[in-house]
Amino acid sequence: MELNLLLAVITLSLVVVIGLPDLLQDPGSYLHGPSALIVMVGSISSLLISSKFKNFKKFLYVLKFIILPPKKTAPIDAIHLIVNLSKISKSKGKQALMPEMEKMKDPFMKFSVQLITEKLDYDFIKTTLYNDISEMENRHDHVANMYKNMSQFTPIFGMIGTIIGLIQVLKNLEDPSKIGPAMALALVTTLYGGVFSGLIFVPFNQKLRTMSEEEAFLKKLQTEGILLIVKDEIPLKVEKYLMSFLEAEAKLKKKK
């Protein structure tokens, strides 16, 4: 679990303890099955209507990456690798990159180096790699949009639940025993809609977009390095150019 996610859990726990002490004393007062069903089942139904089923499966699949993000290649490490490949290519030729390619675990880098060893032209390699990045961004955008849609659907169904509850209240004004459950449905459903939207789907949408931007940046950095190798630029030029993409903090770490 990432540090920021752990901090979010801790701060949310503090909010519950300090701001809602009765939640710990009587959690049942905030647990209401019909309200949860209206909000979640209704929102998921709307999502299924507005999305393709193959994308809906990805909606569930990416949850594990949000909670437990995979280990990422640091941009500075990617630069070191590309500079090393540049040195090999410059001294031994592009075919000498084959053994290095076999060692790579990053599919994008492996594919990029393969294009070099197959002696394909510069324009073709550039177009192919940037098309790959564009397709990845579109794929990620579709999934993130589903979380964005859910952040909009849940408050809507929260309000629908509130209206249903108020209708039941008005229908049973002569029977006080039925007013309590109806009011619970009206109020708790709105609460669920806001909580699901503000604490889950809005943050998850932003998290996915941030992860996508970081991955796209890394791939663009790798692509620029690969293209410099294709052009037979000297390793020093490759390093200086790629380092210009990094933030000042990362450059200082490199110097150390």
In tens, the pLDDT along 75-127 reads 999 999 999 999 999 999 999 999 999 999 999 999 999 999 998 999 999 99
Residue 4 included in any domain: no
Residue 6 included in any domain: no
Residue 173 included in any domain: yes
Token pair for 146: 């589903």
In the prediction, which pLDDT does 160 show?
Answer: 94
DSSP code string of 16-30 = HHHH-HHHHH-GGGG
**pLDDT band (50, 70, 90) for residue 143:** very high
Structural contact between residues 113 and 226, judged by C-beta atoms closer than 8 angstroms: yes
**Is 60 exceeded by the pLDDT of residue 66?**
yes
In the prediction, which pLDDT does 16 show?
Answer: 63
What number is the average pLDDT over the span 215-223? 96
- What's the total number of domains in the chain? 1
For residue 236, give the H/E element and its range.
helix 235-243
Residue 220 included in any domain: yes
Residue 128 included in any domain: yes
Helices (H) and strands (E) in the chain, counts: 13, 0
In the prediction, which pLDDT does 113 show?
Answer: 96
Q: How many CB atoms lie within 10 A of CB 36?
A: 15
In the prediction, which pLDDT does 249 show?
Answer: 47
| Domain containing residue 175 | 33-39+74-248
For residues 221 and 227, give the distance between their C-alpha atoms in angstroms, rounded to a whole number.
Answer: 10
Structural contact between residues 189 and 38, judged by C-beta atoms closer than 8 angstroms: yes
Which of residues 171 and 250 earns the better pLDDT score? 171
Residue 67 included in any domain: no
What number is the average pLDDT over the span 248-252? 52
Question: Which pTM was predicted?
Answer: 0.83
- For CA atoms 183, 187, 188, 190, give the dihedral sign: positive
97: Cβ contacts below 8 Å, ≥ 6 apart: 85, 88, 89, 113, 116, 117
Angle between helical axes of 75-92 and 248-255 (0-180°, round to 10): 60
Tens digit of pLDDT for each residue in 149-159? 999 999 999 99
Residue 26 included in any domain: no
In the prediction, which pLDDT does 5 show?
Answer: 67
Residue 2 included in any domain: no
Which of residues 29 and 84 earns the better pLDDT score? 84
